[in-house]
């Protein structure tokens, strides 16, 4: 087995999930993630953890949903009982076809998702971590050869996380102390308030309240955006490719939008509810192991020299105790490159210019 | 997808497990049984059952056990909680390598198995069913091409179970009313008591207390065997092929044994404990869909025109209330062909001769 798969498993178990002897662990294995599951089982055995493996196959989900009439049992207790008694759930993504559920009616998928709300909450109450094993399907989605995609994934995952966590702490403190953020770039000039908000140092470990491997972003919950922003990183939203999404804000609300491809998807998202026209997240990508977008949010939003904004729901971790953030049924990330000609300011001070932070070599004040 | 896979899934869900709307179902999917899992998920959806899928990969088990130091947690509660709250567990066997755990130390495997005793009991307290999807690995073990093996499996599984259950009921009643059984064949002449014992009509359905698909046997718990018996169906026991096992009984206990290949395995089995030298089961194979041995006990022991005996533990279902049957840590089946020249008698009456039951065409009284 490729040594990198074993290193991935060790990073997942030790750095990300902080598994200890006697921990009750669930691994949820996508149908292309067998090799990572085997490597993870080995490490879990070495650590003396307990293990049960779930089979997370989109083809099984599709068949089940195609057969079902849509009147799903709310909260099947036997499944919730598993998670409520578990310490960690490790989601090993990496399927064989990203379009495996493309022909399931949307309302049935939504009904299934609603019925599983309590199960999801029980999962999220554990020390859960989400990662992916490189598969040919994901390589194809990224437009890459399989060996090149494997290298891409391991460059992103096998970081010096301690060092990156230290660097991200610098930015977190700037954001925690700051009041107003400005992003300037091509067809982009946007200001937002971050007054009294707390940034999360998302260092790919439950010890940092971070549940993605890879991670490598600092994010907070902004308010009162004003101005316009163009998202030049291509993405797939609700199964459709979108490009060059442009949002215009006045008094904290989207007042105009456009896109060069599939503009209607953006319209649908913004029309979901009142909160969908407001911002829920400002995230700054800082993982220099991720050098290109691959049409996967797990990687794209952590890419160095990018900033992402999400319309919709805000994360509680960023809000003062007792304060409710923006609420919405959606949370849709959109990403912009912070390359030549761009800058990121906090309270009028330039923190990043042309993609370089002020603590990096080559930063131009 | 091959129609036969869908029919297999329907037989499993409807005939075997008797799944109804709202049932909480676990499917445990071997790493070669994906297609059967997809077909089963479809049928479970159609029936309105709830579904969680486990990944039962021998390669994951091997890696976990290789990593572990052997001091396993007894009874991990989070796993037991899943089964205790479930209605049915469907084991979809069919791996990719029957020797996948061959290099796991035996004592570690045994320690793991002991630690999971309570989990196993919780599984057995559900309406569980064990079946297999045909894989290339199992075809190889059977010495068959893959298409021929697929045909073999579906011939065994896709029976008219109702009709077979009726036929088996005839034999069950003969055994229930009988006192003494005699088996005569080549180098075989054995008598046993079945006084006050109850036979199980194993018709591949939980409605018949039968948990294998395919099934198709009638079995009971014999006592006081006397004579000798030769088992001419080749088998693999503890990873070793054995052939032509011959046992000699006096006063209910094995007093002599031999085999033409790997005789020492039989010696090991018989030396396990006191109960290992006594009989735990007499089973009569009645599935005419199974025409040849394939080195898999799930199929071989149900083959028509065979009788099997197990040394070791007896099944409670065959015993009068309050009576303990033969007790042992082992239950090892051995199979003999009932072909030309053989006969099976109950209380001196010939029930089967030359492989034909007395209610079948061609029976010679």
Contacts of A259 (CB under 8 A, 6+ apart): A242, A243, A244, A245, A246, A265, A266
Q: Which residues of A178-209 are buried (b: 16+ CB within 10 A; e: fewer)?
A: beebbbbbeebebbbbbeebebbbbbbbbebe
Tell me which residue of B15, B55, B7 sits closest to B31, measured CA to CA: B55
B79 to A43: CB separation less than 8 angstroms, yes or no? no
Quick one: pLDDT at residue B83?
A: 97
- Residue B110 has a pLDDT of 86
Q: What is the mean pLDDT of chain A?
A: 96
Interface of B with A in 14-33 (CB under 8 A): 22, 24, 26, 29, 31
In this prediction, residues B73-87 reach a mean pLDDT of: 93
| 8 Å CB contact of A79 and B79 | no
ipTM over 0.95: no
A20: phi then psi, degrees, rounded to nearest 5: -125, 165
Which of A365, A363, A331 lies closest to A219, judged by CA? Answer: A331
Check whether B181 has a pLDDT greater than 90.
yes
Question: Can you spell out the DSSP letters for A299-360?
Answer: HHTTBTTEEEEEEEPPPGGGS-TT------S-EEEEEEE--TT-EEEETTEEEEETTEETTS
Phi, psi for residue A154 in degrees, rounded to 5: -70, -30
Mutation pick from B6, B29, B67 vs chain A, by most beta carbons of A within 10 Å, is B67
Per-residue pLDDT band for B34 (boundaries 50, 70, 90) equals very high
User: Are B82 and A82 in contact (CB < 8 Å)?
Assistant: yes
Q: Closest CB to B64: pick one of A41, A78, A84.
A: A41
- Of the residues A46, A47, A56, A68, the best mutation for testing chain B's interface (the one with the most B CB atoms within 10 Å of its CB) is A68
Task: Tell me the chain B residues in contact with residue A88 when contact means C-beta distances shorter than 8 Å.
Answer: none
Q: What pLDDT score was predicted for residue A91?
A: 98
- How many CB atoms lie under 10 A from the CB of residue B71? 9
Confidence band (pLDDT; 50, 70, 90) for A298?
very high
Residue A271, C-beta contacts closer than 8 angstroms, at least 6 positions apart: none
**What are the tokens at A296?**
């996967």
Handedness of CA B31, B36, B40, B41 (dihedral sign): positive
Q: Which two tokens stand for residue A336?
A: 């912009």
Residue B53 touches chain A, beta carbons under 8 Å: yes
pLDDT at A66 over 90: yes
> Where residue A304 falls among pLDDT bands split at 50, 70, 90?
very high
B interface test, pick of A14, A43, A63 with most B CB neighbours within 10 Å: A63
B36 touches chain A (CB under 8 A): no
Contact (CB<8Å) A63/B22? no
In 3-state terms, what secondary structure has residue A170?
helix
What is the distance between the alpha carbons of residues A180 and B240, in angstroms, rounded to a whole number? 73
Mean pLDDT of A344-358: 97
Q: Does A1 touch chain B (CB under 8 A)?
A: no
- pLDDT tens digits, residue range B162-172? 999 999 999 99
Crossing angle (nearest 10°) for helices B34-47 and B3-10 = 50
pTM of the predicted model, to two decimals?
0.93
Alpha carbon B281 to its chain's center: 11
CB contact under 8 A, A44 and B64: yes
Residue A47's closest chain B neighbor by CA? Answer: B68
Which tokens hold the place of B125? 């307290």
* pLDDT band per the 50, 70, 90 thresholds, residue B123: very high
pLDDT for the residue B90: 98
pLDDT at B204 over 90: yes
**Assigned token pair, A152:** 């891409």
| pLDDT at residue A110 greater than cutoff 90 | no
Range in A115-119, A342-346, A348-352 with the lowest mean pLDDT: A115-119
Nearest residue of chain B to residue A54 (CA atoms): B54
Which residues on chain B are in Cβ contact (under 8 Å) with A73? 22, 50
Q: What is the mean pLDDT of residues B260-274?
A: 94
* Share of residues in chain B with pLDDT > 90 (%): 91
How confident is residue B365, by pLDDT bands cut at 50, 70 and 90?
A: confident
pLDDT exceeds 90 at position A81: yes
Residues in chain A within 8 Å Cβ distance of B65: 45
Q: In chain B, which residues have their Cβ closer than 8 Å to the Cβ of A50?
A: 73, 76, 78-79
Interchain CB distance below 8 Å, B78 and A26: yes
Q: pLDDT tens for residues A190-233?
A: 999 999 999 999 999 999 999 999 999 999 999 999 999 999 99
Shortest alpha-carbon distance between residue A324 and chain B (Å): 34
How confident is residue A303, by pLDDT bands cut at 50, 70 and 90? very high
Portions of chain B given CATH number 3.40.1830.10 = 3-157
Fold (topology level) of A3-157: Thermophilic metalloprotease-like (3.40.1830)
Residue that wins the pLDDT comparison between A239 and B31: B31
């Amino acid at each position: 087995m490729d040594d990198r798969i074993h290193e991935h498993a060790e990073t997942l178990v030790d750095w990300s999930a902080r598994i200890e002897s006697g921990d009750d662990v669930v691994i949820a294995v996508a149908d292309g993630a067998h090799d990572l599951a085997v490597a993870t089982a080995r490490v879990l055995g070495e650590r003396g953890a307990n293990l049960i493996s779930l089979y997370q196959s989109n083809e099984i989900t599709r068949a089940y949903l195609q057969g079902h009439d849509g009147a799903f049992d709310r909260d099947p207790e036997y499944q919730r009982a598993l998670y409520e008694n578990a310490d960690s759930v490790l989601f090993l993504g990496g399927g064989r076809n990203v379009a495996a559920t493309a022909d399931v009616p949307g309302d049935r998928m939504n009904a299934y998702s609603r019925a599983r709300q309590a199960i999801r909450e029980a999962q999220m109450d554990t020390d859960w971590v989400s990662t992916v094993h490189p598969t040919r399907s994901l390589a194809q989605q990224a437009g890459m050869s399989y060996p090149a995609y494997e290298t891409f994934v391991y460059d992103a995952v096998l970081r010096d996380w301690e060092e990156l966590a230290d660097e991200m702490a610098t930015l977190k403190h700037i954001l925690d102390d700051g009041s107003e953020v400005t992003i300037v770039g091509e067809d982009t000039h946007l200001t937002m308030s971050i007054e009294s908000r707390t940034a999360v140092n998302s260092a790919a470990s439950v010890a940092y309240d971070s549940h993605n491997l890879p991670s490598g972003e600092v994010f907070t919950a902004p308010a009162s955006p004003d101005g316009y922003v163009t998202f030049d990183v291509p993405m797939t939203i609700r199964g459709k490719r979108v490009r060059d999404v442009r949002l215009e804000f006045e008094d904290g609300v989207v007042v105009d939008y456009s896109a060069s491809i599939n503009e209607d998807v953006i319209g649908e998202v913004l029309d979901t509810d009142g909160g969908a026209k407001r911002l829920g997240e400002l995230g700054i990508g800082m993982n220099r192991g991720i050098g290109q977008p691959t049409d996967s949010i797990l990687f794209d939003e952590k890419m160095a020299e990018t900033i992402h904004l999400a319309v919709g729901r805000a994360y509680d971790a960023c809000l003062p105790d007792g304060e409710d953030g923006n609420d919405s049924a959606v949370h849709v990330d959109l990403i912009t490159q912070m390359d030549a000609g761009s800058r990121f300011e906090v309270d009028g001070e330039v923190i990043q210019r042309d993609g370089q932070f002020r603590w990096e070599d080559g930063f131009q004040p």
